[in-house]
């Protein structure tokens, strides 16, 4: 969201609402997908040369478990508060900061549950759902870590 500094009157809280296409925010990853738009509800206020922008970002995501590779859907709810120096500026572009706030919500390595059993390295079955008779090998954590594309 681009805040136009000129619309702010000293001490008057402006209500702000918008939604983003996840692609606009560059939120497309190998192991994490946004299933719907990112809704923003918030407010901004200017006191002297400082603009405070606060609110909440909400959406729904699908993540792939790093161990068993199952897809898992969950809501995202990220409250935020950003402050900007508005001195000498006509506009403040908050988009990159909002993206960062969402990225902080996502773990580097998502697990469907803390003790996910993963998949059998030999036969490939999901060990959370079935067991197999393959030779037991100790599960190697981090072996199928998926590197997230990050600009
Ligand atoms: Zn899992
Ligand atoms: Zn097996």
25-68 confidence digits (pLDDT tens): 999 888 899 999 999 999 999 999 999 999 999 999 999 999 99
Q: Which residues surround ligand 1, an ion (CB under 5 A)?
A: 65, 67-68, 112, 116
Look at residue 141 and tell me whether its pLDDT is greater than 60: no
CA distance 113 to 86: 44
DSSP string, 43-102: EEEEETTEEEEEEEEEEEEEEE-TTT--EEEEEEEEEEEEEEE-TT-SEEE-HHHHHHHH
Per-residue model confidence (pLDDT) at position 108 = 86
Average pLDDT over residues 16-20: 96
Average pLDDT over residues 123-144: 76
- 69 Cα: distance to centroid of ligand 2 (angstroms): 15
Backbone angles phi, psi at 72, to 5 degrees: -140, 130
Identify the H or E element spanning 98. helix 95-105
- 1 Cα: distance to centroid of ligand 1 (angstroms): 35
Least confidently predicted of 48-52, 114-118, 119-123, 147-151:
147-151
- 30 Cα: distance to centroid of ligand 1 (angstroms): 16
- 132 Cα: distance to centroid of ligand 2 (angstroms): 5
Per-residue model confidence (pLDDT) at position 11 = 81
Global pTM value: 0.79
- 121 Cα: distance to centroid of ligand 2 (angstroms): 7
Q: What's the pLDDT tens digit per position in 69-94?
A: 999 999 999 999 999 999 999 999 99
Per-residue model confidence (pLDDT) at position 15 = 96
Which ligand is closest to the CA of 117, given by its number? 1
Write down how long the chain is: 151
39 closest CA partner among 80, 93, 72, 77: 77
């Amino acid at each position: 969201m681009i805040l136009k500094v000129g619309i702010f009157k000293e001490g008057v809280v402006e209500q702000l609402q918008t939604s983003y296409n996840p692609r606009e925010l560059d939120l497309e990853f190998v192991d994490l997908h946004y299933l719907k738009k990112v809704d923003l509800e918030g407010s901004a206020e200017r006191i002297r040369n400082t603009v405070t922008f606060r609110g909440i970002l909400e959406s729904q995501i699908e993540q792939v478990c790093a161990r068993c590779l199952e897809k898992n859907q969950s809501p995202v709810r990220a409250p935020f508060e950003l402050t900007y120096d508005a001195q000498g500026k006509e506009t403040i572009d908050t988009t990159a900061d909002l993206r960062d706030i969402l990225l902080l919500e996502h773990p580097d390595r998502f697990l469907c549950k803390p003790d996910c059993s993963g998949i059998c390295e030999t036969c490939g079955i999901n060990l959370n759902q079935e067991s197999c008779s393959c030779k037991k090998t100790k599960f190697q954590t981090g072996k199928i870590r998926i590197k997230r594309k990050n600009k």
